[in-house]
Amino acid sequence: METLVRQQAHKIALSLNYDAEQEAVMVYGLLAIAQIGITLLIVFLLGLILGVALEGLTVCLVGSILRRSSGGAHARSVGFCTTFSIVFCLGAGLLAQWLSVPNHPLVLLSMMVIVFAASLYFIHRYVPVDSPNKPITSPAKIRRMRKGSFITLAAYGLVSACFFYFGLASAPLRSLGISLLIGLAWQTLTLTPIGAILLQKLNDLPKFARKESKP
Amino acid sequence: MKKMYGLIAAISTLVAALVASSACYLFIYQPEEPASLRNE
């Protein structure tokens, strides 16, 4: 996907007489559009087939919106990232739907308390988590990112409380509430060193599989 | 065709600027950020 985007951007840059920096900015934007568009579209379409379109999109959006301000561990290739995001969002959607069938308000409330308490702690401890490709060193930006993460978490808390209250009588709302918790838990995990190691190991899986299949 | 390319370039530059103001890309892949967008 990245190669295709770079080729098309180069063609457009040549046609518009753009310099290398303008082309790089265009590639950066096009890559974001392609990645977001493809991931959301496939999660929605496969989600419709599996009956978890809303749950899958909820997991996807909850993680992505918090990630805007919190940062987090990164994959090494756009292909792995897109594939992993799609599989994870749909898997989490199916899990949320399965967990929402029995109506146990106490279990759900405990899950909410644990996930939100852990998120609050790890956001306070690690945010913003930057990467070598996009370092964050300015104190003003660090403050802004931390504030943004806490505001997003507070908003999730309100939405989650609504899902919990109205979900007492509705399995689909319970399912969306659990999707929110799974999305938040995953994004929180990517803030921690354990999450970074886990993502690195998952990154190496395709390489390992290729090596194993060679005679 | 040039108008179409201009539109694509404008939209992608706008999205790049929006993404640059955040801590990272929305998903778990982060390409190298162009120097002109860096606000470390």
Complex ipTM, two decimals?
A: 0.87
Looking at beta carbons, which pairs linking A1-7 to residues 24 or more positions away fall under 8 Å? A1/A31, A1/A34, A1/A35, A1/A38, A1/A78, A1/A79, A1/A82, A2/A31, A2/A77, A2/A78, A2/A79, A2/B31, A5/A30, A5/A31, A5/A34
pLDDT number for residue A209 = 56
Is B7 touching A (CB cutoff 8 A)? no
pLDDT, one tens digit for every residue, chain B (40 residues): 778 888 998 999 999 888 887 777 666 677 778 887 776 5
pLDDT number for residue A173 = 92
pLDDT number for residue B40 = 56
Chains A–B, number of C-beta pairs less than 8 Å apart:
138
**Shortest Cα distance from B6 to chain A (angstroms)?**
7
Answer whether A12 sits within 8 Å of B8, measured CB to CB: yes
A185: pLDDT confidence band, cut at 50, 70 and 90?
very high
A210: pLDDT confidence band, cut at 50, 70 and 90?
low
Query: pLDDT per residue over A79-91, tens digit each?
Result: 888 888 899 999 9
**Shortest Cα distance from B21 to chain A (angstroms)?**
9
Give the chain A residue whose CA is nearest to the CA of B10: A26
pLDDT number for residue A54 = 95
Give the chain B residue whose CA is nearest to the CA of A2: B31
Instruction: Name the residue with higher pLDDT: A36 or A116.
Output: A116
Helix (H, G, I), strand (E, B) or coil at B9: helix
- List chain A residues with CB under 8 Å of B31: 2, 27-28, 31, 78, 133
Distance of CA A112 to the CA centre of its chain: 19
